[in-house]
Chain A
Amino acid sequence: MQLLSTRKNKLLLLLPTCLVYSVYIILPILLSAHYSFTKYSGISKPRFYGLKNYTRLLDDPYFWIALKNTAIILGISVVLLGIGAFFIALLFNQPMRGVNVCKALVFAPAIIASIIAGVIWGYVLDPVTGLVNNILRAVGLGKLALEWIGGKTLSPYSIAFVFFWQQAGYIAAIYLAGLKTIPHEMMEAAAVDGANFWQRLFRVTIPALKGTFVSVGILIITGSMKIFEIVQQLTGGGPTHYSETLVTYAYDTTFARGEYGYGMAMAMATFLISIVLMGIFTLLLRDRD
């Protein structure tokens, strides 16, 4: 292989990728960091602004609301997807008639565009015309017909549920792929030893799937901190920013209000939060060894 490993061949193979990547990924990260330290409205030149954008974040009540909403969504996703989808995988791992059809159907939302998922759930959750509340009213449970979207409190919970709907089959498929790698002998040995379902689960299955749990955890953290279209479509961040998440609020600040410096500071802060969360998460799991 020495023969082909010339400098010319290396450049030929590597240069195009490195070029596109540097101009469209690395440079934008640097530009974002730069803008986040400036005051920039797009008309005049960006003006150096020090850390003022970042300190302004701390005084911005809507930033805290967006942070709280994002935390709610992340927390619910950890429970519903991290744990719930694991049990869905255990359910699907049994020999049942029709299980393959059900698996395929449950997975389907994962390939649907998020913006369409938002449209679909708008028709289900709309407090006045939506499916859920009209069924509740029809069966005499009108009291439970709440303001799922559009109000000040429930939107992040609804958004988290739609995210679950999108990802449940996908995450379950990842768990199922992991379950297939556990040797049958291990399960049988545990069963012969008289271990019940929960003992087998905690002593055999979960330890064997540690790597899968790490992947799923990272997917849930990055995924739930990027939820955008669902919020745009279901609530538009309203009323008055009450259902905003970190990314939708940063998007709105940047592109609707034209506060580019402040918007980029928000996007950078969001990015740093997700990096820190991923770091903590991987450290926590590593320490248990």
Chain B
Amino acid sequence: MTSRKKLGVSYVLMVLLTLVIVIPIIWLGFISMKSNSEILNDPLSLPQSLNFENYKSALRTLDLATLYKNTFFIAVCALVVEIVITFSSAVGLARLHYRNPSVSAGLQYFLLIGLAVSPFILLFPIYRINKFFGFGQHLSLILPYIATSVSFNTLLFTAYLRTVPKELDEAALMDGVSLWQLITKILVPIAKPVLATVIIFNLLYIWNEYPFASIMIENPAYYTISRGIAAFQGQYSIDYGGLSAYSVMVLLPELVFYGIFQRHVVDGMTVGAVKG
């Protein structure tokens, strides 16, 4: 095959692949503009006009603003706490001096066990633990989200912090900085790239998380956006139109976020995967 022909085939493959990936998302947009009877009786027809009935009905079924507020609150709390504590523990493991180095190595292995653990083993015991402590509502999700981030964050933070020359700490100590200043003034600014990776990775995880959210939160007033889907599925029928409109409203902000931070999102997720 000549290289021009080969390039032609490549173009065709690239466009076909992209269409296969994108069409289902566009189709969801079309569905959201059609009435329930159109969806069931005339499946291939395109929406006749810009019809926002489904969106109104979705907003009647669920208080989307509250769901967004809940998800945002949970994500911010979990992220702030987990970044502070896992970055600190990574500093403790990677920068402090241990008379017996196997202590810090052993502790690090202990913190990495979580990488191999599937959330499905944790669901029921965590449900019980939350009940035992009396943690309900937002807290019952924030704590497991923090805990499930520990292994991944420890892996990335310690690997990064070990690449920073130790002399830097010594020099700072000469200037008489405290532990707090060492972390906030010196190590955090240096670790900005890995912090960005960890934040993006964990933010997407929490935003999209479903299994924990489906078990821990019982009161609809505290539902997260992914948990809200269930509201459209009655025991005997599904509100197809409302469900599609709701999904679009969940999807659009995510795609906008992705559009803005695309480079960071792709880099963050792939770096995380390769190191994980």
**Chain A residues proximal to chain B, CB less than 8 Å:** 1-5, 9-10, 12-14, 16-18, 20-21, 23-29, 31-32, 35, 88, 91-92, 94, 96, 98-99, 102, 104-116, 119-121, 123-124, 128-131, 134-135, 138, 165, 168-170, 173-174, 177-178, 212, 215, 219, 222, 225-226, 228-229, 233, 247, 250-251, 254-255, 260, 263-264, 267-268, 270-271, 274-275, 278
Contact = CB atoms under 8 A, between A and B. Distances in A.
Given A9-B179, A96-B10, A27 B274 contact: no
A80 to B, nearest CB: 12
Interface in B237-276: 240, 243-244, 247, 250-251, 254-255, 257-258, 262, 265-266, 269-271, 273-274, 276
B186 interface: no
A33 to B, nearest CB: 9
B24 A1 contact: no
Interface stretch (B52-60, B61-69, B88-96, B190-198): B88-96
Report, nearest first, the 3 A-B pairs whose CB atoms are least far apart: A13-B92, A24-B147, A28-B125
Interface residues of B, number: 91
B14 A20 contact: no
B159 interface: no
B210 A229 contact: yes
B43 A129 contact: yes
Interface in B155-173: 166, 169-170, 173
Given A119-B243, A123-B27, 19 more contacts: A4-B169, A5-B96, A12-B88, A14-B107, A17-B88, A21-B147, A25-B114, A29-B122, A99-B14, A104-B266, A111-B204, A113-B225, A119-B229, A128-B43, A131-B27, A135-B44, A229-B211, A247-B120, A263-B124
Contacts, number: 261
Interface of B: 7, 10-11, 13-15, 17-18, 20-25, 27-28, 31, 39-40, 43-44, 85-86, 88-89, 91-93, 95-98, 107, 111, 113-114, 116-126, 128-129, 143-144, 146-148, 150-151, 154, 166, 169-170, 173, 179, 182, 204, 207-208, 210-211, 215, 225-226, 229, 240, 243-244, 247, 250-251, 254-255, 257-258, 262, 265-266, 269-271, 273-274, 276
A35 B96 CA distance: 39
Given A29-B122, A251-B120, A9 B85 contact: no
B270 A26 contact: no
Contact of A96 (B14, B17, B271, B274): B14
Given A24-B144, A228-B210, A264-B124, A104 B262 contact: yes
B247 A4 contact: no
Contact of B124 (A12, A32, A104, A215): A32
A251 B150 contact: no
Given A21-B147, A123-B28, A129-B40, A250 B114 contact: no
A106 to B, nearest CB: 5
Contacts of A3: 173
B252 to A, nearest CB: 11
A271 B121 contact: yes
Given A9-B179, A13-B96, A20-B146, A168 B21 contact: yes
Given A4-B179, A111-B204, A121 B210 contact: no
Contacts of A16: 85, 88-89
Contacts of A105: 18, 21-22
B111 to A, nearest CB: 6
B251 A116 contact: yes
A91 B10 CA distance: 6
A96 B7 contact: yes
Nearest to A15: B89
A173 B250 CA distance: 25
A1 B207 contact: no
A114 B97 contact: no
Contacts of A215: 273-274, 276
Contacts of B117: 25, 29, 271
B202 to A, nearest CB: 13
B7 to A, nearest CB: 7
A108 B258 contact: yes
A119 B91 CA distance: 42
Contact of A17 (B96, B150, B211, B243): B150
A32 to B, nearest CB: 5
A274 B255 contact: no
A27 B122 CA distance: 9
B148 A14 contact: no
A12 B170 CA distance: 20
